[in-house]
Amino acid sequence: MPSLSAKIYLDANATEIMRPLTKEAAIKALEQIGNPSSIHYYGRQARRILEDARRDIAHYFQRDADSCIFTSGGTEANSLALHALAHQDNRQIFIGATEHDAIKNAAPQAQIIKIAPHGLLCLNHLNTLLASKKWDKTGISAPKPPLICVMAANNETGILSPLAEISALCETFDAPLHIDAVQSMGRIPLPLARLKKASFAISGHKMGGLKGAGALILTHDHPLSPLMLGGGQERGRRGGTPALPAIAAMSAALKESTQQDWQPIKALRDMLEKELRLAGAEIIGENCERLPNTICAILPSINAQIQLMTLDLAGFCVSAGSACSSGKITPSHVLTAMGYGEKAGQALRISLPWCIQEEEVKKFAKAYHLMAKTILKK
Ligand code: PLP
């Protein structure tokens, strides 16, 4: 069990704590001296680790090994998906209003699909958008159907997207579907039987692996010209020597996280939510299906940065928005899209790591109560 030292880490959605078997797999790969592209003995040893990881990750998605392309993380996997499925294919892009910056900023011209106030992607709006135009899958008589790009689970609220329903709508209109599965991987099962035509972006460090590896899982043999030009790695689809230890760790982390029983984490999450409500917090998406480890809590009229700093001084690491935007004092675009107005600047994200202990949750609940009491009294 990793030691959490004096601080209590509650920011797993920014990066998950490394898992034990994953660490072993990373160390084993670190000891490999070869480059997987080399033909000699050491190259072949490294290549075997790379290809085993590719096979195991693709197998999870019920795809052939060739459908898995390794990248530097979730951001690059998402960019590569937009390139493969929209830019290269000359399609418009539709994205959910609460997508991560990795999608939002990579598709600035995208049509936004509304989010209902409770946080779920609005299927009616997606249907209206798709039905409002004529599409032609060959692109000859009308534009090709757009790429639909949605997240499996929101990084700030943990709210899950209705993927099976979205996929069914996409199929009706022959629209390709890309799923940013970065936060959901290992924490919840995906309805893969209903997502046979979708692509997925994943990231190693969100599952308890190392930072620096991700993957794009495409449908079998989807053509893809590289964004990163180089020595023809990844069958010419992504140049650059792959980060072998991080890739081996990602594969091991996927295995370890999917084997974990998340019920005890969910029970601790629910217990903590009760305490936060008693302290005056409003829980975002409390009636939606959510990741088992995530809480997004608004403490009315207290700026999130003040909450974050108070808790940090008390020894607790939480977040005031997504990891990539920490340091930025702008209110969360996710909560703004959900209609929270100025309350969007008063929300904290508490994301329990896989190895959280009940004692730690209780200590945090106490500190939160104290913070709420002290600040609200002033
Ligand atoms: N997508 C989502 C939903 C995320 O939460 C993140 C990171 O927070 C990313 C993509 C980017 O992943 P990475 O940090 O591996 O680039």
264-312 confidence digits (pLDDT tens): 999 999 999 999 999 999 999 999 999 999 999 999 989 999 999 999 9
Ligand 1 pocket test: which of 11, 95, 100 has the largest number of ligand atoms within 8 Å of its C-beta?
100
Q: What pLDDT does residue 222 have?
A: 80
| Options 122, 288, 317, 324, the catalytic residue | 324
**β-sheet with 294-298: strand ranges across:** 282-283, 294-298, 347-351
Model confidence at 115: pLDDT above 60 = yes
218-274 confidence digits (pLDDT tens): 987 788 888 999 889 999 999 999 999 999 999 999 999 999 999 999 999 999 999
First vs last C-alpha separation in the chain: 40
Residue 181 one-letter amino acid: A
Q: Is there an atom of ligand 1 within 6 Å of 353 CB?
A: no
Q: How many CB atoms lie within 10 A of CB 18?
A: 20
130-171 confidence digits (pLDDT tens): 999 999 999 999 999 999 999 999 999 999 999 999 999 999
309-333 confidence digits (pLDDT tens): 999 999 999 999 654 555 555 788 9
Distance CA 320, CA 328 (A): 9
Distance CA 158, CA 4 (A): 23
Q: How many CB atoms lie within 10 A of CB 148?
A: 29
Q: What pLDDT does residue 135 have?
A: 97
Under DSSP, the state recorded for 172 is: H
For the full predicted model, state whether its pTM sits above 0.85.
Answer: yes
Q: Is there an atom of ligand 1 within 6 Å of 324 CB?
A: yes
Q: What pLDDT does residue 286 have?
A: 94
List C-alpha distances in Å: 182 to 130, 143, 213, 215, 216. Answer: 26, 30, 12, 10, 10
Ligand 1 pocket test: which of 163, 183, 205, 250 has the largest number of ligand atoms within 8 Å of its C-beta?
183
Q: Is there an atom of ligand 1 within 6 Å of 74 CB?
A: yes
Question: Where are the extended beta strands (E) located within 97-197?
Answer: 111-113, 147-151, 177-180
Q: Do residues 209 and 253 touch, judged by C-beta distance below 8 A?
A: yes
Q: Is there an atom of ligand 1 within 6 Å of 91 CB?
A: no
CA atoms within 13 A on the CB side of 41: 0
Distance CA 16, CA 257 (A): 10
**Predicted confidence band at 119 (pLDDT cuts at 50, 70, 90)?**
confident
Element spanning 283, H or E: strand 282-283
Q: Is there an atom of ligand 1 within 6 Å of 15 CB?
A: no
170 in active site:
no
